[in-house]
Amino acid sequence: MIKKSLLALAMLTAGTVAHAQSSVTLYGRIDAGVEYMSGVPNAGYTGSTSRWRAESGDWGTSLWGLKGVEDLGGGNKALFQLEGSFDTMNGNGPPAGGLFNRWATVGLSNDQFGTLLLGRELFIANGVWDFDPFGQSNWSSASLVRGRNWPYSSNNVSYQSPKVAGFDLYGQYSLSNATNWNGNGTTTQGREDGLQLTYTNALFQLRGMYDEIRDPLNGALDNPFTASREYFAGANLFLGQFKLQAVYQASRTSGMTNTPVGSPTTTTQEWGGVTWQATPAAALIAAVYHVNANNGGGNANIFTVGGSYNLTKRTLLDIQIATARNSSTANFGLEANNEGPGGGTSSNYDDNPLYGHSQTGVYAGIQHSF
């Protein structure tokens, strides 16, 4: 009887130890606010108007997720992460029924050799985030590349190295899953890949990045905003209460012929900005973003100021004021809309201003993280 009791106690203790070596965390972020914008096209794209709108995600995507880790011993861990976005204003989740549209990964990590993940992730181009003064908010660097730095990546294999002498390496490779390696219309994603190298010390941070997105219809590099090669070089400089940021970025296509004037084959972007952490709770931000598109695509600038105030470590208030200024042949707006005219109906309306026109907006909101 005593032996049976000791055996039961030993099994219970073993189960408790195993449980203590695993953890699952629920996390999320809720963002909401009100925005005003002028220079918005009317439905027929024949003139400009203005609007007020309740908005979710201007300062940062509203999201929720689960992540877990199991200690396998010897510096090895098993990992998973599930994450999806939603609209705070109406409660709707991701489109097309994709519950975990941002992250759905499982993998292994080792303290010495790094982390290997399989599944769906934010695409490597989102590495721009760390070098954008407004953190790729709704009115920032993504607007002038029409969302090129925001995509997700399915069928993905990624590797994150440990940091060695200030350097770390990150790489992604995403299979098209099509009957042609690069993509041929049999699946919804073309082949995607990228490589990112970062150096960080107490005074500054540097990052170089190359990535490639193939057109899922034909595997080509045929649109600088959706299917192209992208080159990125960014710098952060840390000076006490100030952070200075500067970036050069270029999108390139190949094999495009007889392209009509007004449809660019390459774009070049530069931006810079400064963040002043005035107090531990209050930050002020100013930035300028520029894009130049070839083949008659024109050029545009976004000038923006804003800031945030942390009520607590988890809750902040935010505000941003921005204006987009276009050359005569460009129609870039504050938001990251697809290229082409704006306007339309409620089911396909977008805010691209009239060609050569400007657009100005102000947003104020609240964000809570958990």
| pLDDT, tens digit, 9 for 90 and up, residues 311-352 | 999 999 999 999 999 999 999 999 999 999 999 998 899 999
Report phi then psi at 120, rounded to 5. Answer: -105, 135
Q: Are strands 359-369 and 22-41 parallel, antiparallel or unpaired?
A: antiparallel
Distance CA 58, CA 60 (A): 6
Give the span between the Cα atoms of 183 and 163, in whole angstroms. Answer: 34
pLDDT band at 96 (very low <50, low <70, confident <90, very high): confident
Q: Report the candidate in 256, 318, 264, 326 with the shortest Cα–Cα distance to residue 293.
A: 264
Q: What is the pLDDT of residues 2-36, one digit of tens each?
A: 444 434 434 433 443 444 479 999 999 999 999 99
Taken in order of first residue, the domains within the chain and their CATH numbers are 25-369 (2.40.160.10)
**8 contact partners, CB below 8 Å, separation of at least 6:** none
Distance of CA 137 to the CA centre of its chain: 9
**Which of 54, 142, 125 has the alpha carbon at shortest distance from 322?**
142
**pTM for the full model?**
0.91
CA dihedral (292, 293, 296, 299) positive or negative:
negative
* 241 burial level (CB within 10 Å; 0-12, 13-18, 19+): exposed
For the stretch 105-152, pLDDT in tens is 999 999 999 999 999 999 999 999 999 999 999 999 999 999 999 999
Is the Cβ–Cβ distance between 247 and 234 less than 8 Å? Answer: yes
- The number of CA neighbours under 13 Å toward the Cβ of 343 is 12
